[in-house]
Every structure is written in C-alpha cells, then in structure tokens.
Structure 1
Amino acid sequence: MELREREKEATHRRELELLRETHRQALELEKAKQQNPANPNNPSPIMIPQHKKFPTYKAGDDTEAFLENFERACLGYSISEDQYTVELRPLLSGPLAEVAAEMPKEKMNDHKLFQTKARYRMGITPEHAGQRFRALKWKPDVSFPRHAYHIAKNYEAWISGTKVNNLDKLHHLIQMEQFLDGVPEEIEKYILDGKPKTVMEAREIGAKWMEVAEKKKPTVKGSEYPRGHHRQ
C-alpha cells in the first residue's frame, strides 16, 4: 500500500512539472511573437483598403453643404484633419478646384485655410455670413433641423472668418455689427478703415466723418441771387 501511494505521488509530481513546463514554453512563445517581426513564411492576412465614398462638388452646388458633408464623411472614415485636403482635392471642380490650385504649396493641406479661401471665392464672406445669420427666420415650409443647420453654419462661418478666439473679441464683433446696422456703406468703410478697438472708438470715427461731411456741404448766400431769380 505504501509503495502504491508513493508511486501515485511521484506520478502526480511528474504531471505537475509537465504542466508547468508546458505553460512556461507557451509564455515564452507568446513573448517571442510580440518582440519579433512577423515570420515572412507565415505572413499576416492582407488588409484590403476600404473604398471611401465622398460627395463630389460641381459648379453651382451649395458650397457650405458640400464642405459639411465632406467633413462628416472624413469623420466617419476616421481620417485625421491634416489629410482632409488630400482627400478633398480630387473631388473638386470649377471655382473650388481653382482655390485648391492657388493654395501656397507649404500650406496646401491646411484645410481651415482652404475653407476660408473657398468661402471668399464663393462670396461667403464673414460679413455676408453674419448678415445671413441675423436675417434667418423660421418659415412653415422649412423643417426645424434644416433651420438649425443654417443658423449654426452661418454663425460658424461668421465667427471663424473674423478670427474671433476669445470672449472680448466676440463682444466687440457683436457690438460693432449692431452699431453699423443701417449705416451707409461709405461711412461704414470709413469707420472700419479706422480700425476701432471698441464701439466707443467707432463712435468717435463716425462723428469725425459727419463733421468733415458737414464742412464739405455747399453754402448758398441769399445775396448771390436777386429776388425771384432761380438757378437753372
């Protein structure tokens, strides 16, 4: 009985040692796979590039809608922003293709710069975007999602185009827009050329324009014309 018990214990120990050795070898093999490059005789499966589908642009299309749909496609394909213009360029035609061709080579993949230049080329200036943002009003034939989309896009084009990047600049932008609302274009240009930093500075520039304009008004002396005589 004692002999049989000893033989069982010896067999059990050998089995445990065999299991430990097998486990050790498996760990070493896994470690070697992680440290060494793939075996050329057993290559990894070939990954077939995913075929990407993007919206294409034709002259006359809605520029803002096209750029928005393109960016959404890039996000869906997990494309980094520095590769946006690389993917975008083959999709363009007409004026937007010209904008891409005119980009400086050192900044040809700057997507934000392309957007700014494209908007200017298509007449979507920050000023125009701001005017459209203020003028947008909901109509019964416009869905609320579409109304919200146009509100957000015009606001974004307005703010990003004017390079507003802090709260003080945003305050100044909104106050200046309201201050210049209804001001004739000639006077507005005169005020903006003065580069006012606050609406109070804009007030002084506007007052100066009015003062100069008053001095330039022609004066007519009553003694120059006899009574009953009118200028022809």
Structure 2
Amino acid sequence: MSWAKAALKSTAMEELVKQMVFVNVQAQTRHEEAMAQQQQAQAQAVAAQQESTHLLAAQLAAQQVATQTQINALQEAMQQLAPGRDQAVVTTGNHVSIRASHFLQKLSASDDVEAFLTTFERTAEREGWPQDQWAGLIAPFLTGDPQKAYFDLPLEDAKNYDRLKAEVLARLGVTVAVRAQRVHCWKYCPDQPPRSQMHDLGQLVKKWLQPETLTREQMVERVVMDHYLRSLPKDLQRWVSHGDPKTAALVVEMVERYTVVEDLLRPTSRRGPVLPPPVRPASVPRREASLDLGTSTPKSSSSVLQRPAATRTAGDIQCW
C-alpha cells in the first residue's frame, strides 16, 4: 500500500511538473510574441520616422531651392530698378541716358516741393548723375506751378538746376525771408511732444541756414542780415526786402541808396542851409541893442528877423 501511495504521489508530482513546465512555456511564448510585436512596432515607428524625416528633408530642400530662386529673382529686379553708380548711367555712343524714372515719380499736388527737390538731389548725388543734367532730369517730373516756372525760364537758365530751383521756390513763395519768418514765428505748443517740436524747429533752422550748401561765414552773414533787416524802419525794411539782397554788402548799399534818395526828395524848405548861430557884437551896449529892437528902420528890422530864422533853421535839420 505504501508503494502504491508513493507511485500515485510520484505520478501527481510529474503531472504538476508537466503543467508548470507547460505554463512556463506558454508564458515564455507569449512573452516572446509580445517582444516580437513590440520590436515590430518599434521598427515600423522607426521606418515611419525615417520616412517622415526624408519627406521633411525633401520639402526643406525644395523650399531652399524656391527661396534661392526668389532671392536671385529679387536681386535681378533690384539691379534693374536700383542699379549701381556704374549701371545708373548707360552710355550709347556719344549720348548718355539716365533712367531717372526708376527713382522718381511725378510731383503731386500733395507733395512738399522742398522735400521733393531734396530727395532728387540726394538721389542724383548717390547715383553720380552729372550736375549739369539735373535740370533736364527733373523737368519731366514737375507739375503745376513748378512746371510753369520751368517753362517760363529762358533756355539757358532752364538748363541750370540752381536757377531752376530758385525760380520754383520763389514761384511758390519759399524764399530765404519766408524761411527766416517761419523760424521767428515758431512757438512752443504744450499739446505736442517736446522732442518732435525740437526736431521741427531744427528742420526750420536748417532750411533757413542751409548748412549743407553754405559755409560757416555765409550762415553767420545770413543771421546778421536778418537781424539787421528786422531792425530797420518798416518802409525801409519793406523796400530792401523787395530787392532781395543776397549779401550783407548789398543790404547796406540798398539802405544807403534809400537814405540818399529820401534826402534828395525831401522839400528844400525843410532841408534848408545850415547857418551858424548869430553872434552879438561886443561893442554894442545892451541898452542900445534894446533900443534898436524898438526902432522901425529896415536894417534893424532885418537883422532882428534873421536871428530867429537862423536859429529855427538850425533846429530843423534832421538826420536820416
């Protein structure tokens, strides 16, 4: 009996071991299958990532090519629209053609003429355009009164840019006197930013004194002339300003001419000769002199009447 029990126990143990081995084998198999699936999924993910990377690389390369193409096209357009100094002037035989239309637009009614002329000058200097051709280059872009000023100038003056500019500004009432008046009329406005007002005042002074074109001595002379003119009497100031003198010497010359003309046109009775004051004879006693004043002789009367006349004439002399 004990043997049979031992055999049954051994058989049960073997069955248990077999089941455990079978379970372990199944578990290992499932683990291996799971690992295989995980590896396969990772491989698919890597492949998908690689494919996505390749696509992104291809897109980036295509974008770089397109960007480079656009850059090249833009550079070509810029070279055509804004050529360099050597390309701005195209020489054909003995004639020089300047493509000013690539840089300028026609003057409109809302444009500031001074700003328009300044822009043209800076463009012409940057591009190296010959200054003797500036008047002809800007003429097609003028409209309105500036265009009339160009056509009203003589042919030789119309070829000179400085004379054309002066005529255009004068036609529009923009003179040195007007610019000076703008400076003197400037006032601080509490409602506006202080910095912008300082900038505006600086621009007004620059337009008046023109430091880009005038020397230091010429700017000082302009300030002196302005103060001198403002100190003159109104009639004289108006007459001198109408003559528009360009230098201090011309201002003084005009003032001197005005003074001489005024003195010549003054009535003779007012100007009168300058007579010395009467001298009383030392030998005539005071009593006799007083008696003579009472006589009616022509000589006494004449001598007495002449004295206040001489004194009055000397007092009527005026200095101009």
Q: Which residue of 2 aligns with 1:78?
A: 128
TM-score, scaled to structure 1: 0.52
What CA deviation, in whole Å up to 9, does each residue of 1:53-93 have, x standing for no partner?
A: 21421235321111111212222322121121222111111
Distance 1:202-1:174 versus aligned 2 partners, 3 A rule: farther
What CA deviation, in whole Å up to 9, does each residue of 1:117-171 have, x standing for no partner?
A: 01110001221122223444565442655543332122229x98xxx8893x765
Match of 2:223 among 174, 177, 187: 174
In 2, Cα distance between the equivalents of 1:188 and 1:59? 33
Is 1:91 equivalent to 2:141 in the alignment?
Answer: yes
> Displacement, 1:105?
1.3
Distance 1:134-1:80 versus aligned 2 partners, 3 A rule: farther
Q: Which residue of 1 aligns with 2:168?
A: 118
In 2, Cα distance between the equivalents of 1:103 and 1:147? 33
Instruction: Name the larger-Rg structure.
Output: 2
What CA deviation, in whole Å up to 9, does each residue of 1:24-59 have, x standing for no partner?
A: xxxxxxxxxxxxxxxxxxxxxxx8966622142123
In 2, Cα distance between the equivalents of 1:205 and 1:111? 34
TM-score, scaled to structure 2: 0.40
| Structure 1: 5+ residue stretches without partners | 1-46, 216-232
CA contact (8 A) 1:57 1:66 kept: yes
Equivalences for residues 202-221 of structure 1 within 5 A? 202=255
In 2, Cα distance between the equivalents of 1:116 and 1:146? 23
Partner amino acid for 2:120?
Answer: F
Q: Tell me the number of residue pairs that the alignment of Structure 1 and Structure 2 aligns.
A: 163
Match of 1:186 among 232, 235, 245: 235
Is 1:101 equivalent to 2:101 in the alignment?
Answer: no
In 1, Cα distance between the equivalents of 2:124 and 2:139? 13
Partner amino acid for 1:132?
Answer: R
Q: Which residue of 2 aligns with 1:133?
A: 183
CA contact (8 A) 1:56 1:92 kept: yes
Q: Which residue of 2 aligns with 1:150?
A: 204
Partner amino acid for 2:106?
Answer: T
CA contact (8 A) 2:149 2:171 kept: yes
Distance 1:204-1:104 versus aligned 2 partners, 3 A rule: closer
In 2, Cα distance between the equivalents of 1:134 and 1:90? 36
> Displacement, 1:202?
4.5
User: In angstroms, what is the RMSD of aligned CA positions?
Assistant: 4.3
In 2, Cα distance between the equivalents of 1:191 and 1:74? 36
In 2, Cα distance between the equivalents of 1:117 and 1:177? 21
In 2, Cα distance between the equivalents of 1:105 and 1:91? 18
Q: Indicate the percent of aligned positions where both proteins have the same amino acid.
A: 17
Match of 2:103 among 53, 66, 70: 53
Q: Larger % of helix: which?
A: 2
